[in-house]
């Protein structure tokens, strides 16, 4: 049992190490800027930009040719003197909000930002309503219908006989 657990821990550690190392292989040595400050800014920006091919990866993590082109474009803009926000604005104007891994809050993305909160609020409200209904006193009795007059008479008759019934009576 212990050996099996240690084996799974080892597999998980190797998987994590491989996952962490894949991002270092995406940026090629010929892309790296000689200025460490500019390179740091470029890496920061490329972690915020979506690879249009992979779609759920940043261009910093992607090996796709388009991601490489975008990384080079980011470095080119930074070398030309653009600020981080100017680079993001340029790429957003060119490719739309989709290029950003975390889209900016605006009228066109408000639903995207509000949806998780709305769904959470609806779930909490439904859960609270369900718990209130269940905790109400007399909840079990409310679900059972009352006896009709005929059923009451029959019950009284049966109880009056001491519960001794020889057969069905109506």
Q: What is the pLDDT of residues 83-140, one digit of tens each?
A: 999 999 999 999 888 888 887 777 777 777 788 899 999 999 999 998 888 887 665 5
Query: Residue 34 pLDDT more than 90?
Result: no
Q: For the chain, give the mean pLDDT.
A: 82
Give me the residues paired with residue 50 across strands: 58
Query: Residue 54 pLDDT more than 60?
Result: yes
Q: Are 74 and 49 in contact (CB under 8 A)?
A: yes
Rounded mean pLDDT of 148-162?
87
Query: Residue 26 pLDDT more than 80?
Result: no
Rounded mean pLDDT of 70-77?
93
- pTM greater than the 0.75 cutoff: no
Question: Where does residue 104 fall: left (phi above 0), alpha (psi -120 to 50 degrees), or beta otherwise?
Answer: beta
Tokens 């000689």 correspond to 34
């Amino acid at each position: 049992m212990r050996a099996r657990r240690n084996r799974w821990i080892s597999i998980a550690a190797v998987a994590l190490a491989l996952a962490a190392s894949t991002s270092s292989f995406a940026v090629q040595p010929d892309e790296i800027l000689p200025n460490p400050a500019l390179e740091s800014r470029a890496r920061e920006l490329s972690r915020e930009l979506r690879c249009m091919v992979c779609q759920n990866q940043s261009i910093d993590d992607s090996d796709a040719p388009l991601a490489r082109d975008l990384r080079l474009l980011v470095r080119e803009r930074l070398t030309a003197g653009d600020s981080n926000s100017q680079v993001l604005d340029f790429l957003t104007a060119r490719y739309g909000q989709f290029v950003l891994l975390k889209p900016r809050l605006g009228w066109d993305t408000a639903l995207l930002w509000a949806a998780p909160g709305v769904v959470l609020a609806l779930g909490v409200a439904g859960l609270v309503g369900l718990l209130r209904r269940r905790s109400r006193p007399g909840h079990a009795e409310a679900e059972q219908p009352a006896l009709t007059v005929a059923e009451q008479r029959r019950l009284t008759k049966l109880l009056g006989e001491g519960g001794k019934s020889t057969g069905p009576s109506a």
